[in-house]
Amino acid sequence: MRKILYLLSLGILFSCQTTEEKAPESPLGWEVFETPVKASLRGLSPVTAEIAWAAGSGGTWLRTIDGGQNWDYGVVAELDTVDFRSIHAFDAMKAVVVSAGQPSVIYKTEDGGKTWKLKHQELDEAAFLDGITFTDEENGFVIGDPLDGKWTILKTANQGDSWYSLLNLPAAEDGEAAFAASATSLIADGMELWLGTGGVVSKLYYSPDLGETWEEWKSPFMQGESTKGIFSLTSLGKGEVFAVGGDYVEMADTTSTAASFVLEKKEWVLPKKSTKGYRSGVAYFSKLHWLVAVGPTGSDYSKDGGMSWENFPKWVSFG
């Protein structure tokens, strides 16, 4: 049995539940759920407080419909050598998974995981898909590492049933890449797309029109090596995004691991007190106006838009 800790996407299964009477002052920690698999789980898509999907190594998929108490699980299309680090679920029956590495494939289920159908495959052996994001129920995007000097960005307009490349792909520098650590280096917010990158150079790419046109800015994150850069983005709304990252080899290094970008001013804002080292995922909870960042060495939260961060316990026990 493997224990998994839930990323704070959408706030479900988060150990500090809120009430109308009183909001918590700080996160209490994490609730630990047992699953029946031994896979390394990186992909997560919560749908409601009861329904969530996960995916990971060995072609593994999981689904809970009772808030994590029980799990359905299996292997996507018998692909037990494939690492599925990205998943997007629509409901208890439908979900899309994206592989990281070869083969570069996208599969979809419409019967709760019983069967999976291939919806897309990249034929270039150098292709590497990093993450998936949806802007609404129908329209979604998958980001992949650059090929021939251009970013790989795929789009669907029918819930993942078919995929095609954007016509206007932004150019990438040699040695620049996206990270698949949390599948959130590309995010969609309404008509806007945001992409954070790393490697030899770390940049932020922005499209106001779902990929028709692009702008880009160099980031203040550590960069210059393949292990460094922006690993995750979240939208704060009104043209502001928050990014986290660092160096996944030097995880304790707190240099340039978090920053926000304000579109109106087209400038980066650095925190006064940063996260406690490398962070691979970040989520924004608009109800509490909290940011929460997670990584292999711990979790941090911010109550002031990311200007200062406090560490909180990795998990708590529930009787």
Q: b/e map of 105-132 (b: 16 or more CB within 10 Å)?
A: bbbbbbeebeebeebbebeeeebbbbbb
109 and 135 both lie in a single domain = no
Burial class for 82, CB neighbours closer than 10 Å (0-12, 13-18, 19+): buried
201 and 313 both lie in a single domain = yes
Q: How confident is the prediction for the chain on average, in pLDDT?
A: 91
Assess contact for 100 and 59: CB atoms under 8 A: no
Q: Indicate the residue among 89, 121, 153 that finishes a domain.
A: 121
Q: What is the pLDDT of residue 6?
A: 43
For the cut 90, the answer to whether the pLDDT of residue 95 exceeds it is yes
The answer as to whether 30 is a domain residue is no
Distances (CA, A) of 47 to 15, 58, 108: 17, 23, 16
Q: Give residue 13's pLDDT band: very low, low, confident or very high (50, 70, 90).
A: very low
DSSP label at residue 171: B
For the cut 80, the answer to whether the pLDDT of residue 23 exceeds it is no
Burial class for 253, CB neighbours closer than 10 Å (0-12, 13-18, 19+): middle
More confident residue, 28 or 169: 169
259 and 155 both lie in a single domain = yes
pTM listed for this prediction: 0.92
* Count of structural domains, the chain: 2
138 and 50 both lie in a single domain = no
pLDDT digits (tens, 9 = 90+) for 275-315: 999 999 999 999 899 999 999 988 999 999 999 999 987 65
CA distance 142 to 133: 7
Q: What is the pLDDT of residue 72?
A: 98
Q: Indicate the residue among 100, 121, 142 that finishes a domain.
A: 121
CA distance 262 to 232: 16
102 and 159 both lie in a single domain = no
Q: Give residue 17's pLDDT band: very low, low, confident or very high (50, 70, 90).
A: very low
Beta strand 140-147 pairing with 129-134: antiparallel
Quickly count: other Cβ atoms within 10 Å of residue 3's Cβ.
11
Q: Indicate the residue among 121, 152, 178 that finishes a domain.
A: 121
75 and 193 both lie in a single domain = no
Mean pLDDT of 131-146: 97
CA distance 260 to 134: 22
pLDDT digits (tens, 9 = 90+) for 42-91: 999 999 999 999 999 999 999 999 999 999 999 999 999 999 999 999 99
173 and 100 both lie in a single domain = no
The CATH number covering residue 283 comes to 2.120.10.30
CA distance 156 to 141: 6
Return phi, psi of residue 23, to 5°: -90, 150
The answer as to whether 19 is a domain residue is no
Mean pLDDT of 87-97: 98
Residue reference for tokens 């049995």:
1
109 and 169 both lie in a single domain = no
50 and 165 both lie in a single domain = no
pLDDT digits (tens, 9 = 90+) for 225-240: 999 999 999 999 999 9
For the cut 50, the answer to whether the pLDDT of residue 18 exceeds it is no
Q: Which of 198, 135, 143 is nearest to 170 (CA)?
A: 143
Structural domain containing residue 165: 124-319
DSSP label at residue 170: P
Q: Give residue 25's pLDDT band: very low, low, confident or very high (50, 70, 90).
A: confident
The answer as to whether 20 is a domain residue is no
